[in-house]
Structure 1
């Protein structure tokens, strides 16, 4: 989208390893929780590895055993946030059988996204951190591709004559830009935020259902 090349997963910042034993797992989760608190309080730009270790009450060496740098921490937090958003898409759209049901479910996705952001404001900070860390730009791109494929799979069933490649590209664009719309809505008051998500849903549905073509005909 912005000229940043899409990187393979193995090229992106990632944790060195994930613990298996209960005690190590608890320490790992404490590190992530501490990083989340710091991002929420001061932003990702102010997060330092030494601060994460101090707040988690672990030695800095223990932190580096799992995370080579702060970008790796942000990636894990972002992927967890993305997994929750993907769950929302699947739950809202998996059972739809008609275009009208798709419309309703799609609008509910963005309403739920907004509720999630309001309940967990740090999600907005984590997504902003992806933009701040150039090495992580591909993480958001990959997630938009993945969530777009989920939407495209459902649309292909509802619109069997549509071009599959066009469906995937439209769905990718809609999901990528949808993150920006939700960040905007979450920074507004309740009424304006809902209006923003509703306006975006209307525009997105016109693109996904190719209603512009009908208007031009």
Structure 2
């Protein structure tokens, strides 16, 4: 499935290659505009102009600016889930789980620092219910990935407790990232390091 078809934010899913390429141009144009001025300043007319499409064509796929932002958010989340799944796939013992999770925290933070569009989207999550819903679904999915790896290395632990704590750890991780990118870099680095230490202690303690 083409990545543009995965998002429920699209008004209609592009079925032909030409349409898929057009939607990709729209998303690339929106990404560039967000990088330059932020999503608040982005206008639909600017997206259409930069993508080389008519405003009517843009509205065929995206009913408003929020739909574009949500599509980008879901795309980043999908990439994040793949990263988490890959990072936890080879875990076979507790030490491996702790090392893999700690590495994922560092990787995620590095992505946030390097991706201005992701920072912009996540900074606005709390003000947009649709983005909050996307964020919640993503936390649950990521929590399930962590819980699966957790059970794999600690098969005797309580299933409900592991799933609940894994969901909480992932939710708090996303909140920690949002907080870290909202403050000065040195403080943000320290906050992420503190979150990672607390999460690793919690994972180790349940065994």
What range is the shorter-chain TM-score in? 0.7 to 0.9
**Aligned 1:4-153 pairs, distance under 5 A:** 14-153=9-148
Report the secondary structure of 2:9's partner residue.
coil
* 1:168 corresponding residue in structure 2: 163
The Cα shift of 1:184 comes to 3.5
The Cα shift of 1:119 comes to 2.3
The Cα shift of 1:13 comes to 6.2
Shift in alpha-carbon separation, 1:33–1:46, aligned structure 2, 3 A: same
Q: Deviations along 1:103-159, whole A, 9 cap, x unmatched?
A: 110000011112212222221112223333223311000000000000001111222
- Distance in 1 (CA, whole Å) between partners of 2:202 and 2:20 is 44
> Is the CA contact 1:82–1:143 (under 8 Å) kept in the aligned structure 2?
yes
Q: Deviations along 1:13-42, whole A, 9 cap, x unmatched?
A: 620222233322221111111212222233
- Distance in 2 (CA, whole Å) between partners of 1:135 and 1:209 is 34
After superposition, the CA RMSD in angstroms is 2.1
5+ residue gaps, structure 2, are 1-6
TM-score, structure 2 normalization? 0.86
Q: Deviations along 1:159-212, whole A, 9 cap, x unmatched?
A: 2222212211211111112112223434543x654433222111012223335x
Report the secondary structure of 2:133's partner residue.
helix
* 1:179 corresponding residue in structure 2: 174
Aligned residues: 200
TM-score, structure 1 normalization? 0.83
- Distance in 2 (CA, whole Å) between partners of 1:71 and 1:13 is 12
> Is the CA contact 1:14–1:75 (under 8 Å) kept in the aligned structure 2?
yes
* 1:9 corresponding residue in structure 2: none
